[in-house]
Amino acid sequence: MLSREAKHFASGGVTVLATARSVGSLKDLTNQFNNIEAFALELDDRESIERLKELVTARTNGRLDFLVNNAGTHYAATAMDLELEKAVKLFQVNLFAVMHLCQIFIPLLRRSPQGRIVQIGSVTRQIPVLWQCVYNASKAALSQYTKTLRLELRPFNIEVIEIVTGFVRSNILHHGLYAPGNSLYLPVKSTIENLKVQGNKNGMPADAYAESVVEKLMQRHVDCEIWQGNLALFLRILLSLLPLRLLVSEAIHNDKGPNSFKILESSSLTQFQAKTS
């Protein structure tokens, strides 16, 4: 996703300072665009983040117009089966690194006539998508942090924008769903995994998503939230009209097709639980 957004920003004439663990992975981008430069960054390394600030400050003479926090990681496990160390690592990348980056780059954004912080969020901040409780929680926390940051930075003419992402085709589920051999959810794992894979196939093409997001961000006036991706606008309207508990109840009792909520209510899961009790 990062490379696609970087391309569209660069095509619009923006000088892009792209980051990755290895600058070699950005070689195709820097070869294709003269206005894309690569910098190394380890999001779980505080010193790496501090070094990035020094390099960017020197490169830009202390001014930054956009800070796009796009990096993120995924971990697909249920609340009963999650590995705590992996949950902590996910929060480090998806939340705490974002907080650190915002904190150290705010002084550079203040020197821009219209500084903008862009957080890549998700509809899972409100929708409890099954088998990814840690990821959902990180996006909910990021959203609340973003809302607070927006208020705190208003006096300094810095806009804080959250991209509320719906379904977009990606390789985020390439590791599949995690479940140990004694998991109570094993009877439904493959079925829910298939539903998630199918949902990914039905997602908005990643390049179309990136192009649309960048186009909106380049406008003079931007909404504080941009809902983008398959079903994003539909969910925005639905969430504004119905309480979440009613949406979940409807999903469980909807007879029009299989969904993960209904599968968790299945008799096979109940029978498996009885056998292992």
Q: Is 139 a catalytic residue?
A: yes
DSSP 119: E
Q: What is the DSSP string of 177-241?
A: ----TT-TTHHHHHHHHHHHHHHHHTSBPHHHHHHHHHHHHTSSS--SEEEESBTHHHHHHHHHH
Q: Considering the candidates 75, 86, 89, 139, report the single residue annotated as catalytic.
A: 139
Q: What is the DSSP string of 121-168?
A: EEGGGTS--TT-HHHHHHHHHHHHHHHHHHHHHGGGTEEEEEEEE-BB
Q: Considering the candidates 75, 135, 185, 209, report the single residue annotated as catalytic.
A: 135
- For the chain, how big is the Rg over CA atoms in Å? 20
Q: Are 243 and 217 in contact (CB under 8 A)?
A: no
- Residue 158, Ramachandran bin (φ over 0: left; ψ between -120 and 50: alpha; else beta): beta
Question: What are the structure tokens assigned to 125, written together?
Answer: 């901040």
Q: How far is CA 121 from CA 55, 137, 173, 181, in A?
A: 27, 11, 17, 32
Report the C-alpha gap between 69 and 121 in whole angstroms: 9
Residues pairing with 121 in the sheet = 164
Element counts in the chain: helices (H) and strands (E): 12, 6
- Annotated catalytic residues are 135, 139
